[in-house]
Structure 1
Amino acid sequence: MDSMAKDEQNSEAQWRDLNDDLGVILETSLQGCVERRIETLTTLVYNIGKERFGVEERKERSNTKQTPNRREQKIKQLRKELKDLNRRYKKSNEIERLRIACITDSVREELRRTTRAEQLKNSNKKKAKNRANFIKNPYNYTKTLLGGERTGHLHCRSAPGYSGVPYKVYKKCPKILRKLWQLFRSLWKKGTIPESWQKAEGCFVTKEKDSKDISQFRTTAAIYC
């Protein structure tokens, strides 16, 4: 019990540190139009959170151990460099910290670009796989999205959106949530919708079990906001 309580305290301390650090970073980094600031906010939150906590991914079972590709190896190396730089930063004097901070920004930007490229590649592979499964058997594919036959309800899970940032981050980090709220207010006053929020992934859902004709399908979409 003592160990569990200690782990929980450490976890809460990590969330507080993330909240404070991101609050300072966002205060100085959010520049430009509202749409650009929203993109910057989600990118910074995702990358910095990933540096500290990693990413929990659901992996498919496989008997063979996959070898990381060159980009994945580079991402791993960049994360290691960031950890080393953070340790050096804490032990350095003020003059050395300025130099280390510049190097850290450069490495973090390289990590952001590399991670984005890897995510895009994986996303395209996943879309191609889903498309092939749907074409092969539309009913079996869409049936996995539904709670049961003819229920018309989709499973609701606390999955992150297009940005990759789960809701728990905003729940645990009120400073980030307030920044996001301020950006929402600006959008509301302008009466505009960011271009990224106007995109959606569509999927055909069968109305009946033995649907074959296009008229027996309806469309549903997940909006990226």
Structure 2
Amino acid sequence: MKDSKVHTKDLIVDAFLEMLEDVPFNKITVHDLVNLVGINRKTFYYHFYGKSDLVKYVFRSTFALHLEARFNGDRLICDTQIEDDKYRYMPFFTKSEKGFKQGDFFESMGQYFMGYREFYRKLSTEEVYSNFRRYLLLIYRPALRKDIESLFQESNCYLNAETLNWLATFYTNNSVLWIFDCVLNSSKNVPKDLMSNCYNLIYDSVKGTVSAIVNK
């Protein structure tokens, strides 16, 4: 039997997704949600800071299930390295089997966003859409930074924090955010190998950057 707090959180999410089928995101209020679920506002804010936090939870919980169904547990990464991350117990990334190569993860991420494309499209004209993109950058930049740092260390090259942060931001924008935007802006299904091919290009680019710096 589910813990009552978990059950209430699930009811709020279900009510939100149900309303989003017919009501624009900006028209959904906390008042509507608590009335639909039959709880008070205090209970809602116990679980979520607001609607933007609700969107983050939908992403983290559904993407965690998606990853758990496709990768061995020993490859899953939960810690976003964000101090106040409420969802640090949910997988969001994977350990690379070979160095920096993460093509299978990004292919899986593309498949996930394809499956939830209509949900995220409902946010596309809202401020929360931009907030969500910033959230993706926030949680994935440290993860990619760690992978990039490991790749440089394999070549006995150590970069300062500023350079590593710049590279991590650049490659996060051109992998995670590119996939998100590509899927949402496409009118057709995106070939699954496009995501892994995209990341292979990024991998080659990172390798080229390592080589250029090492041989400087």
TM-score normalised over the length of structure 1? 0.26
Which structure's residues are more often strand, by fraction?
A: 1
Larger Cα Rg: Structure 1 or Structure 2?
1
Which has the bigger relative contact order, CA under 8 A and spacing at least 6?
A: 1
Q: TM-score, normalised by structure 2?
A: 0.26
